[in-house]
Amino acid sequence: MKFLPLLCCVVAAAAHAQTPSAPSSPAGNEPQTSVPDPTAEFFLLGVGYTKRSSVFKGESGNNLERGFPFIHYRSKTLDVTTTNASYHFLHDGDWRWSVHVGWINVEAHDNATATVLDGTSKREPGWWAGPSVRYKNDWGQVTATIETDAAHNGNGYQVRMGYAKPFRIGYLQLTPSVHVRWLSNDYVNYYYGVRADEASASRPVYTPGAATASWVGLNAIMPVSRNDGFMVDYQMHQLGQSMADSPLVDKQRYERISVVYMHRF
């Protein structure tokens, strides 16, 4: 967990900066991206940097760390970020029903990103889309999403469930979360399988089945002015067993940390 100490230092420093007499920030003045509020509307622009530990044997390069533009627009019916978009077509008390589209690229790879992939065909990133439902109350929020491969790369699908609960320390917003993903045979085989024409002495044919993966996260948002703030997001992922058993993979866990500066318009 080499990235977790960095996040802990950022959170501790931000929390220490708050004085006991500091007034609470008026609702809506600070940027928030962790837990959508259907009554809030805002537009954020910023820049970020993300870094993750390796998934595939010998993986290196731009696949592990990069800068990126940060976008987040939210209204009662739309939630759009740099790589995700949701249309909320029904609000019913604590329930919200949506259609979600997201870009997934962490598992995409080609033979230029890792030594073990030399001689394999490129596995493309792609768009995943499907229905989503959220239930939210004072105890937090639970989400469930079913997504299919809209790009028809591997023609798989996945079912995701997650729980998140935000809380505040002064101006600092923290949101711990836990998530589970069930991935179909086609999904896992496309990204973690080895085809017959890709096999070698060190990379045998591998046809994995479905898998259940999971991850935990901690999101921290610290406003520095009425319209500016920083976000740090940490995730630790656990691969499903059939993913971890792939001859392409050398670890069952990997971490990701992202740091974003954002301005609210």
pLDDT at 28 over 50: no
Say yes or no to pLDDT of 11 above 80: no
Buried b (16+ CB within 10 A) or exposed e, 207-237: ebebbebebebbbbbbbeeeeebbbbbbbbb
In angstroms, the CA 116 to CA 19 distance is 52
pLDDT of 234 higher than 60: yes
Q: pLDDT tens digit string along 162-178? A: 999 999 999 899 999 99
Q: Does the pLDDT value for residue 6 go beyond 60?
A: no
Domains within the chain, CATH numbers bracketed: 4-18+39-264 (2.40.160.40)
The answer to whether residue 143 scores a pLDDT higher than 90 is yes
Query: Taking 90 as the threshold, does the pLDDT of residue 202 lie above it?
Result: no
pLDDT in tens, 34-61: 333 445 689 999 999 999 988 888 887 6
Instruction: Please give the structure tokens belonging to residue 202.
Output: 């060190």
Using the predicted structure, report yes or no on whether residue 10 has a pLDDT greater than 90: no
Between 61 and 257, the more confident residue is 257
Q: Burial code of 34-61, b = ≥16 C-beta within 10 A, e = fewer?
A: bbbeeeeebebebebebebbbbbbebee
Asked whether 55 and 264 are in contact (CB, 8 A), the reply is: no
Give the H/E segment covering residue 253.
strand 253-264
- Kindly tell me the sign of the dihedral angle through the C-alpha atoms of 211, 216, 222, 223: positive
CA distance 12 to 225: 19
What pLDDT sits at residue 125? Answer: 87
Q: Is the pLDDT of residue 111 over 50?
A: yes
Q: Is the pLDDT of residue 29 over 50?
A: no
